[in-house]
Amino acid sequence: MDFFDKNINIQNKHLNAVHPGHKKINATLLMGEVSVHSSMTYHSSIANESQEPRVGMVVHFSTDAAVRIPVQGENADYLDQCEISSICPIIFQR
């Protein structure tokens, strides 16, 4: 599924076609709350309707065998931030 696709209805149609009978849970988070889940969990969110910015933090764990897939197009800048250690630090490396 497209990480950058903001159309929840299209995402739901695709999810229903690929995983019929999946379990859907709505979780509205209040300010200061967090959601923790594995990469095997499909998750999305609707538009931020508050006047405050939405802040997100992602932690990815991978082995030394992980290979980064190049991304082209309008979203490449977003993912290229992984090369900036102050934004995307490596917290453990053998």
pLDDT in tens, 8-25: 888 888 888 988 988 888
Whether residue 81 contacts residue 87, with contact meaning beta carbons closer than 8 Å, is answered with: yes
The larger pLDDT score, comparing residue 82 to residue 37, is at: 37
Taking 80 as the threshold, does the pLDDT of residue 35 lie above it? Answer: yes
Alpha carbon distances (Å) from 30 to 10, 35, 47, 50, 51: 26, 11, 14, 11, 14
Taking 70 as the threshold, does the pLDDT of residue 3 lie above it? Answer: no
pLDDT at 6: 75
- Please give the backbone phi and psi of residue 26, each rounded to the nearest 5 degrees, phi first: -95, 130
Q: How far apart are CA 4 and CA 59, in angstroms?
A: 18
